[in-house]
Structure 1
Amino acid sequence: MNAAPLAPTALRARDLTEGDRAALLEDLRRGLRGEARGGRYDRLLYATDASLYQMEPVCVVFPAGADDVRHVLRVARQARVPVLPRGGGTGLSGQTVNHAIVLDFSRDMASLLELNVEERWARVQPGIVLAELNRLAARHALLYGIDPSTANRATIGGGVGNNSCGAHSIVYGKTIDNVLSVETVLSDATRAVFERLDGPALDAKLRGDGLEGHVYRELRRIGVEQHEEIERRFPKIMRRVSGYNLDDFVNDSGPMDLARMVVGSEGTLAVVTEAKLRLHPLPKVKGIAAVHFRTLVEAAEATVAGLEHPVSAIELVDDVIVTRCRASVGFKLLAAFVQGDPGGILFIEFAGDSEAEVVAKLEALDADLKRRGLGYATVTTTDAAAQRDMWRMREAGLGLIMSVRGDAKPVGFVEDTAVAPEKLPEFIKRFQQIVGGHGTTAAYYGHASVGCLHIRPMVNSKTREGLRQMEQIATEVADLVLEFGGSLSGEHGDGIVRGVFTERMFGPTLTNAFREVKRAFDPEGLLNPGKIVDTPAFGENLRLGPETRNLEPPTYLDFSFEGGIARAAEQCNGQGACRKFEGGMCPSFMVTREEEHSTRGRANLLRYAFAGTLPHAELTGDRLFAALDLCVECKACKSECPSGVDMAKLKYEVLAQRNQARGVPLRARLFAHVNTLARLTAPFAPLANLAARQGALRALVARLGGVHPERPLPAFAAQTFPRWFRRRR
């Protein structure tokens, strides 16, 4: 592993005094149409993503447009602190946390700007959620082909930063294959549009002044100089997203498309403010074969056979996901189709113009696998609802495996390897040997069709032995991937967790070339430094590590199942399923679009208070109470969070602790005894109802009872229910 100290700009950002931070916020707000926040709670809400890592930002900005982004870059440059673009915060490699000014695009820059049906493209802002774009495109029988399992909360900007893929990349490719152009703000706060250029237009860029012209010239030089090393070291597989995309710039003449360098750069080269995306026709009919296997290796062998058919997806889930799905309150019905206890299941999808065509493809696959003796059961369907349930099981895979209780978890640190699909059977065998050699097991799932598997060994990162185990497994897996000609990242990106292996994968020459690319775009180190190259150490900045020491106060409720109240909060792994806009979870986030009002945001704040990142006294404080207040205790998270976070139960307990420390508020007492109040008021009901409509009393009710003055109060009844009932006996 190779690690570097924090970049000077990130170090400065980490060590800002409160006075410096206040001055920075004042400078930001002075020219901003959007909003800037710098409170401790606001910062901590953006200190984590779905990865292992935690890095507290300087502040959070919600830009209202590209001019706001330019203003932030100007202020950041003057203050010498970094900027971090962020979408839904679902990154798994640590690329969306940093000591930096966070730009959250998901709230105010989340629109579809233009959709051209005839030419099949859409122009969008970076904060739009993939599922929302596809909902709008579906009205015209079109779709955006990138479909990660987080599509109902992940944003286009995050996908561009990651070079995301998804289940159907065998048909639609990676993000890089679907981006036609990007509008960006460069590190010097100038704007640049990157798209495919050739001829006089490209010549003008290569001769241009300023940072943009310098970038064009440097990319051409670096790519040409390194073309032999690129040919030698870059994996020859579809799912390579590690490193920078220098392989697109090896020719000394011909077209250049700098959008292809920005894609997958994790916010380290430019800030994307708009993207023009390629759209595809919606399939008319789809069908799935859920093929059951005794072992994962057999499933991998069947993947190779399945690829001889015109498939649109081959997805793998293992026995861990099936077991956790069956044990989940909200997801167990999704496993109703599963027959027996398979070691692995492949979801093999076909598309066509008619149901008869799709059925014929499914039957041909089934006959072929039976002839080869692969699989012990196959469930096929063209029913849309049944297919949706199968896909939901696959998409919930990460959350389901993370629903295990205790400190040992199937952690994501080698979860994105990619090899050629024909090498999968042997690769899985060797991977299992590595994991078993370290005395543990792993969960396996992913995109078998393109050889990209999300393998998560069970380890306890909260112990030093567990951390050593992680580092040893990661190192051995990195060597295994190189031996198989694969990529350490197939879609989740490098960030920190794989950035420490960049030199191991690409060698020192190309790693230095990547540094040159970074310096060409960002000579002052302002854009998300310490990702892809020159990253912090693997075991630094951990969200949960050997230093984690939790407060475990006596509780009113029984948290023995969760392992204590602190572990109940730690059950949130940051995947962000609560940030979706469908189903029941989380209603407060759906209304406010604020991280604080998501289950993830609340769980993180509670975790900080238990761990001492926030003072323990904050558990009964007003600021944490405000974060919990909009939780309506609907229990949707208990059933819809794949990891089983029960925020309502946590809120019950924290409010009880607060009331014990500070007394039960009058408002709570009034509502708790509303039946007594109604009984005592019944003889005077008409008078009470008249008084309740008067301004003075409404103001008093608002102040003491916390009821908004414009909310109609329920009318008191002149007759109580017991009295009414007795008269009818």
Structure 2
Amino acid sequence: MGTVQLPDPVVHHPAHEDLDVGALAAALRERVRGEVRFDRGTRAAYSTDASNFRQLPIGVVVPRTPDDAVAAVGVAREFGAPILSRGGGTSLAGQCTNTAVVLDFSKYCTELESVDAEARTCVVQPGIVLDELNRQLADTGLRFGPEPATHMNCTLGGMIGNNSCGATAQRTGKVVDNIRRLEVVTYDGTRFWCGETTDEEYAEIERHGDKRAAIYRQLRQLRDTYADEIRRRYPDIPRRVSGYNLDSLLPEHDFDVAGLLVGSESTLVTVLRAELELVPVLPERTLVVLGYPDIAKAADAVPSILPHEPVALEGVDHKLIRDQQIKAMNPQALQEMPEGRAFLMVQFAAKTHDEAERQAHRMLDALHDTEHEADVAFLDDPEREHELWQVREAGLGATAHLPGRRDTFEGWEDSAVAPERLGEYLRKLSKLYEEFGYASDTGPSLYGHFGQGCVHTRIPFDLYSADGVATYRRFMERAADLVAELGGSFSGEHGDGQSRGELLPKMFGEDIVTAFGRLKAVFDPGNRMNPGKVVAPARLDEHLRLGADWTPADPQGLHFRFPDDGGSFAQAANRCVGVGRCRQHTTSGGQVMCPSYQVTGEEEHSTRGRARLLFEMLDGHGDSPVGDGWRSTDVREALDLCLACKGCKTDCPANVDMATYKAEFLSHHYEGRPWRRPRSDFTMGWLPAFAQVVGRLRAGRVVNALTHAPGLSRLATRAAGVEDREIPMFAGETLQQWFARRGPAGTGARGTVLLWPDTFTNTFHPHIGQAAVRLMEDAGWRVTMPAGPVCCALTWISTGQLKLAKNILARTVRELAPHLHEGGLVVGLEPSCTAVFRSDAFELFPGDQDVRRLRAQTVTLAELLTEHSPGYRPPRLDAKAIAQVHCHQHAVMGWDADRKLLQAAGVDAERLDSGCCGLAGNFGFEKGHLEVSKACAERVLLPRVRSAPADTAVLADGFSCRTQLHELDSGGREGKHLAELLAAGLERPEETPRRRRRALAPALAVAAAAGLVWARRRAGR
């Protein structure tokens, strides 16, 4: 064959100043099927990942097929534009942010193309999400083995780019160990499948003499030149992810070119398809949690556990547990932990439950009477196991932002050593924390994949000042020296990117780093594939998302006070850490966020995307593409499809509250120019005032007749500026009028409670309030209710009319103050209004003592009857129900009390994993939102309701949820409030909604006749 001349290493950064961006965008739109986005909002949304870094992309291409991605690479090549392939955008080392054309595969290139169950392989496109892949594989009894903590939103392409692992790598190894073949395209357009290569296959490739042959020839020469140095310098540990996989080219690894390209972080090729190796599902699992006095002693026990072959072996310290307790995360799971200040979570799996338990007991027997014996919690309840794994998987979010603490950051979050040296490493790392001032009882927590020596942590780096950034750099260099000294890897699964690329000479030596540069030149001699990462990397203190020069325009005159962010909107906008939990493709575990992303697949319509735009709006670096501050149309458009469901307030590990951010933004966006507001802001925002007038005039039947008459109903929705939806019907008598006529009853043995007459219950569904009154009186409470017009200001808040909202809310608090001063409870029936008292009011008036009392003394009906009514037994129903939990209840109050109350009533209730119903207060009525609203409902809710047996009740406490079920195709099923369901078991039934609806029939008949006359006259014009 002869000697092959290896290319010189790539050592430079490319310049892009002469790039004709407009012509590039036009060429991409002309030649690429898919979405080509060079707008300001998209560039802002993709400006960072989950790392410390920020680089504005040139533009974003969302290809519809792998062939479209090839076309996009071809266009970029013609213009000399850099390319970055991106999956879920959750990378922690900065490899998914660059000044490049970003290829986002996650929206369309999501197919599982084929499965060979006998061979245990499948072929996938790079955008498919791991959980979705394993869901589709479920019937085969197989799954893809590696499972990072981001499994619900990470893509296979991203996993391949990072060489991801996760807890299951204890059994299945890294991604590189589970790849059969890859289809790739280089920057110069060379496209081929690659994998392990026999000598015969190599000769066949060589015979063609094409570009692929040239690549293979140079790879063979590179291997032969550096083989001895690769064997000498590559750490022999389970979690070596740093650097390129040059070891995959060695003869002992069968010249595996696919293995070489795994973990190359989009710096060498673009991955188009992957043939994956699958493993059998082990259906039975047992989890043992071992408690130790400190994290290093827990690490010392790892080598004694490994011979028992657990499928997962994770470590967490007491600080991670404490942080989750502070944030009220996973409270039930935390109660299951054994005694100790550090814990090993050891999972065994087998085909049978007995075998899994035997494995666990053998391990415990072996540890007995040794220095590694521990306090033990033994769990084999799948629900409890899942909760405890959530404790571990929530590590990143739980440690990111804590009240009263310094923010923590990634950077050194991913180091790995041999398991035998893990205890030694943790002790030395802790001393390093102390030396740099990062250690304290409130300092960094330590956790990770201890069975493979991989340690995760977030450190309170000061990335806001020049001294802090300089200290961050010194720490990173010293930590790298420590890991190199112990024969470890700077990255155990997250990759090098920019965080660790600069440090690689410390781990591999100059010769191997030179080989990395030559490998880069084989595939990408012009350095156009994700430049500045791994090879010729940018400095670890360059392109920082924050940094000493970050000076955001932190707005003053805020309405919400952001008490958990020091009153700073800039800190609130910076709360997102980029883990992408909002990019869920399926809801699970009762999670809600982010409904608009679930139906659009758009980064800008995820909580993360919107947070990025708000961050960019503050223009902390002076080069943001999002201008105009509060007046930004880019931010307004991104927030337009936010349903304000508040799901992110709880589901986001960093507790981003986009509903609050949206309300604050809209208030300032339209300040001084109300004429720019959509009409629906006034008709929906002022609905409580209109409803009060209708109720006081007892004009409900007349309004219903006018708004439901043929022709007139469409005229009404047009006049209101809302979608052509059915307008909810007013009751003939409000709840307050009914209560005034009826008066309080019952013994009042437990005391007096105030039932809050929210607008929706009071004027639309008073029968729910009536049922609640009967239940509370049956439980021994005396019920009172405000007689005059009152409102929590919810609709003004959700439409961003905050000045007025604060005035209304302040008046309401004054009205309730006497009751609150006596210690009385306020019972809310409508979840969204109850959430205002429990959350929004405090965030608007955090210093008001009466608001604090209101927050503490407001309860749901279920909380009143369970937590505040000891000994109460609800009516026995012995029924089945499916429950659509309102988003605001999920986010603020929770559903535990409802579950307990239903169980006590003998109701077998299934909480639907349906997320938001899609109406979300005013959202589903606003112009342009109808399709998204329907799509949200059709994901899970409506199909599940249609398929439910006729004798199964549909629980929906939210007025929006009931309205959505009533209007859309729910198979004729109507939602019931918890109060309705339980009150049906009481004696003395009172007036029912059916009788009220019959009372409306004459008025509706008159309206129908009027509508018919109107329609005929219109037709005759």
Higher mean displacement: 304-313 or 654-663: 654-663
Change beyond 3 A, Cα 1:475–1:30:
same
> Residue 460 of structure 2: SS of its match in structure 1?
strand
Change beyond 3 A, Cα 1:113–1:555:
same
Letter in 2 for 1:236: D
Give the equivalent residue in structure 1 for 2:574.
570
> Residue 565 of structure 2: SS of its match in structure 1?
coil
Residue 603 of structure 2 corresponds to residue 595 of structure 1: yes
Higher mean displacement: 255-264 or 58-67: 255-264
Give the equivalent residue in structure 2 for 1:105.
105
Change beyond 3 A, Cα 1:375–1:589:
farther
Letter in 1 for 2:281: L
> Residue 49 of structure 1: SS of its match in structure 2?
coil
The CA deviation string for residues 337-371 of structure 1, in whole angstroms up to 9 with x for no partner, is 1245x331110111123222222222232233341
> Residue 537 of structure 1: SS of its match in structure 2?
coil
Q: C-alpha separation between the residues in 2 aligned to 1:125 and 1:615?
A: 33
Give the equivalent residue in structure 2 for 1:383.
381
Q: C-alpha separation between the residues in 2 aligned to 1:389 and 1:57?
A: 38
Shift of 1:616: 6.3
Change beyond 3 A, Cα 1:249–1:722:
closer
Residue 633 of structure 2 corresponds to residue 622 of structure 1: yes
Q: C-alpha separation between the residues in 1 aligned to 2:600 and 2:626?
A: 27
Higher mean displacement: 618-627 or 224-233: 618-627
Shift of 1:263: 0.7
Residue 726 of structure 2 corresponds to residue 712 of structure 1: yes
Change beyond 3 A, Cα 1:353–1:163:
same
Residue 359 of structure 2 corresponds to residue 356 of structure 1: no
Task: Note if contact 1:5-1:536 (Cα within 8 Å) is conserved in structure 2.
Answer: no
Residues 123-134 of structure 1: pairs in structure 2 closer than 5 A:
123-134=123-134
Q: C-alpha separation between the residues in 2 aligned to 1:354 and 1:217?
A: 49
Task: Note if contact 1:198-1:254 (Cα within 8 Å) is conserved in structure 2.
Answer: no
Shift of 1:549: 1.4
Q: C-alpha separation between the residues in 2 aligned to 1:688 and 1:80?
A: 64
Q: C-alpha separation between the residues in 1 aligned to 2:147 and 2:704?
A: 59
Give the equivalent residue in structure 2 for 1:700.
718
Higher mean displacement: 583-592 or 712-721: 712-721
Give the equivalent residue in structure 2 for 1:7.
13
Give the equivalent residue in structure 1 for 2:57.
57
> Residue 417 of structure 1: SS of its match in structure 2?
coil
Shift of 1:642: 1.5
Change beyond 3 A, Cα 1:390–1:718:
closer
Q: C-alpha separation between the residues in 2 aligned to 1:167 and 1:265?
A: 21
Residues 327-406 of structure 1: pairs in structure 2 closer than 5 A:
327-340=326-339, 342-374=340-372, 376-405=374-403
Q: C-alpha separation between the residues in 2 aligned to 1:92 and 1:146?
A: 18
Structure 1 gap segments, 5+ residues each: none
Q: C-alpha separation between the residues in 2 aligned to 1:503 and 1:438?
A: 23
Give the equivalent residue in structure 2 for 1:669.
682
Give the equivalent residue in structure 2 for 1:241.
241
Shift of 1:660: 2.7
The CA deviation string for residues 532-577 of structure 1, in whole angstroms up to 9 with x for no partner, is 1101111111111111112132211222321222111111111111
> Residue 22 of structure 1: SS of its match in structure 2?
helix
Change beyond 3 A, Cα 1:720–1:358:
closer
More relative contact order, 1 or 2 (CA 8 Å, 6+ apart): 1
Task: Note if contact 1:4-1:537 (Cα within 8 Å) is conserved in structure 2.
Answer: no
Give the equivalent residue in structure 1 for 2:158.
158
> Residue 556 of structure 1: SS of its match in structure 2?
coil
Higher mean displacement: 399-408 or 673-682: 673-682
Give the equivalent residue in structure 2 for 1:636.
647
Shift of 1:593: 1.0
The CA deviation string for residues 486-518 of structure 1, in whole angstroms up to 9 with x for no partner, is 111111111111100122221111111111111
> Residue 71 of structure 1: SS of its match in structure 2?
helix
Shift of 1:621: 3.0
Task: Note if contact 1:682-1:720 (Cα within 8 Å) is conserved in structure 2.
Answer: no
Change beyond 3 A, Cα 1:712–1:189:
farther
Task: Note if contact 2:706-2:712 (Cα within 8 Å) is conserved in structure 1.
Answer: no
Q: C-alpha separation between the residues in 2 aligned to 1:438 and 1:6?
A: 33
Task: Note if contact 1:153-1:576 (Cα within 8 Å) is conserved in structure 2.
Answer: yes
Q: C-alpha separation between the residues in 2 aligned to 1:182 and 1:511?
A: 25
Give the equivalent residue in structure 1 for 2:309.
310
Task: Note if contact 1:211-1:521 (Cα within 8 Å) is conserved in structure 2.
Answer: no
Residues 239-278 of structure 1: pairs in structure 2 closer than 5 A:
239-251=239-251, 255-278=254-277
Change beyond 3 A, Cα 1:16–1:301:
same
Task: Note if contact 1:316-1:446 (Cα within 8 Å) is conserved in structure 2.
Answer: yes
Letter in 1 for 2:394: A
Give the equivalent residue in structure 1 for 2:419.
421
Shift of 1:107: 0.1
The CA deviation string for residues 465-485 of structure 1, in whole angstroms up to 9 with x for no partner, is 221121111111111111111
> Residue 479 of structure 2: SS of its match in structure 1?
helix
> Residue 140 of structure 2: SS of its match in structure 1?
coil
The CA deviation string for residues 50-107 of structure 1, in whole angstroms up to 9 with x for no partner, is 1111111110001111221121111111111111000100111111111110000000
In the alignment, which of 526, 536, 541 is matched to residue 524 of structure 1? Answer: 526
Higher mean displacement: 402-411 or 34-43: 402-411
Letter in 2 for 1:86: R
Structure 2 gap segments, 5+ residues each: 1-8, 744-1021
Shift of 1:170: 2.4
Q: C-alpha separation between the residues in 1 aligned to 2:527 and 2:627?
A: 36
Task: Note if contact 1:578-1:637 (Cα within 8 Å) is conserved in structure 2.
Answer: yes
Letter in 1 for 2:502: V
Shift of 1:716: 5.2
Q: C-alpha separation between the residues in 2 aligned to 1:388 and 1:528?
A: 37
> Residue 459 of structure 2: SS of its match in structure 1?
strand
Letter in 1 for 2:148: P
The CA deviation string for residues 111-144 of structure 1, in whole angstroms up to 9 with x for no partner, is 1111222221111110001111111112222111
The CA deviation string for residues 234-286 of structure 1, in whole angstroms up to 9 with x for no partner, is 111121111111112234x9943211111111111111111110111111311
Q: C-alpha separation between the residues in 1 aligned to 2:166 and 2:736?
A: 60
Higher mean displacement: 601-610 or 677-686: 677-686
Task: Note if contact 2:267-2:529 (Cα within 8 Å) is conserved in structure 1.
Answer: yes
Letter in 2 for 1:700: R
Shift of 1:696: 6.6
What is the total number of aligned residue pairs between the two structures? 715
Task: Note if contact 2:617-2:635 (Cα within 8 Å) is conserved in structure 1.
Answer: no
> Residue 526 of structure 2: SS of its match in structure 1?
coil
Give the equivalent residue in structure 1 for 2:121.
121
Residue 571 of structure 2 corresponds to residue 557 of structure 1: no
Higher mean displacement: 355-364 or 288-297: 355-364
Letter in 2 for 1:447: H
Max radius of gyration: which structure? 2
Q: C-alpha separation between the residues in 2 aligned to 1:594 and 1:527?
A: 24
Q: C-alpha separation between the residues in 2 aligned to 1:320 and 1:38?
A: 43
Higher mean displacement: 479-488 or 364-373: 364-373
Task: Note if contact 1:609-1:618 (Cα within 8 Å) is conserved in structure 2.
Answer: yes
Shift of 1:325: 1.1
Change beyond 3 A, Cα 1:269–1:614:
closer
Q: C-alpha separation between the residues in 2 aligned to 1:391 and 1:623?
A: 38
Give the equivalent residue in structure 2 for 1:408.
406
> Residue 348 of structure 1: SS of its match in structure 2?
strand
Structure 1 runs of 4+ aligned residues shifted over 4 Å read 3-6, 715-729
Identity %: 36
Task: Note if contact 2:90-2:154 (Cα within 8 Å) is conserved in structure 1.
Answer: yes
Higher mean displacement: 67-76 or 651-660: 651-660
Higher mean displacement: 570-579 or 100-109: 570-579
The CA deviation string for residues 149-199 of structure 1, in whole angstroms up to 9 with x for no partner, is 111110000011111111121211111111111111121123211122324
Q: C-alpha separation between the residues in 2 aligned to 1:557 and 1:54?
A: 28
Q: C-alpha separation between the residues in 1 aligned to 2:50 and 2:82?
A: 21
The CA deviation string for residues 653-674 of structure 1, in whole angstroms up to 9 with x for no partner, is 2222224343273322211332
Task: Note if contact 2:592-2:651 (Cα within 8 Å) is conserved in structure 1.
Answer: yes
